[in-house]
């Protein structure tokens, strides 16, 4: 697998984020209406990456800076957005690799905590995040009042920053 920082408006990112919206329709009956803009994912305020297998875009995800001011938000938060792996590439550890890369990038950018909103209809996402140390937090965001919403967070250890590295094609 190769991870590339592409930006949210890159054609491959747009392709994958359109696919994730279709996944939300299948699972929840509608798209995610959270406001998203490409500039949210421009360093140092965020990052968006696409994972490639054999040159094909198969996974994506990003984080964007959030600060206190709304329910559940704290200064120094990095909100995960649009984590997705195409069905044909699932079960290969790609989501975990993207997640760890995004966490490292957020720590490198000085973010203190990674937060996310997922839903009860995405049990595999909840399992991934909890296996990586994410814990329930106060609900935030567009869907905070929804009974299907699940908000999780994880404190980052910024003292252990390591340079971001390109993930080789042999990584899982």
164 domain residue, yes or no: no
170 domain residue, yes or no: no
75 domain residue, yes or no: yes
166 domain residue, yes or no: no
Region 29-53: mean pLDDT is: 96
Q: Which domain holds residue 80?
A: 2-159
Q: What is the structure's pLDDT at 166?
A: 37
Identify the CATH number of the domain in which residue 40 sits: 3.40.630.30
165 domain residue, yes or no: no
63 domain residue, yes or no: yes
CB-based contacts of 36-45 (< 8 A; 24+ apart in sequence): 36/8, 36/81, 36/82, 37/8, 38/7, 38/8, 38/9, 40/8, 40/64, 40/65, 40/81, 41/7, 41/8, 41/81, 42/7, 43/5, 43/109, 44/109, 44/110
167 domain residue, yes or no: no
Tally of structural domains, the chain? 1
Question: What is the pLDDT confidence band of residue 172, given thresholds at 50, 70 and 90?
Answer: very low
91 domain residue, yes or no: yes
pLDDT in tens, 131-158: 999 999 999 999 999 999 999 999 998 6
């Amino acid at each position: 697998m190769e991870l590339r920082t592409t930006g949210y408006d890159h054609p491959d990112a747009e392709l994958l984020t359109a696919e994730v919206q279709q996944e939300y329709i299948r699972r929840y009956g509608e798209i995610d209406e959270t406001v998203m803009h490409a500039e949210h994912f421009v360093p140092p305020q965020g990052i968006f990456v696409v994972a490639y297998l054999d040159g094909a875009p198969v996974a994506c995800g990003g984080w964007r800076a959030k600060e206190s001011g709304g329910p559940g938000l704290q200064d120094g938060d990095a909100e995960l957005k649009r984590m997705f792996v195409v069905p044909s590439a699932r079960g290969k550890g790609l989501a975990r690799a993207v997640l760890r890369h995004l966490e490292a990038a957020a720590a490198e950018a000085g973010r203190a905590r990674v937060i996310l909103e997922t839903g009860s209809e995405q049990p595999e996402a909840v399992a991934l995040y909890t296996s990586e140390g994410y814990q329930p937090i106060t609900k935030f965001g567009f869907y905070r009042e929804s009974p299907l919403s699940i908000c999780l967070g994880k404190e980052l250890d910024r003292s252990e920053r390591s340079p971001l590295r390109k993930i080789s094609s042999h990584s899982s």
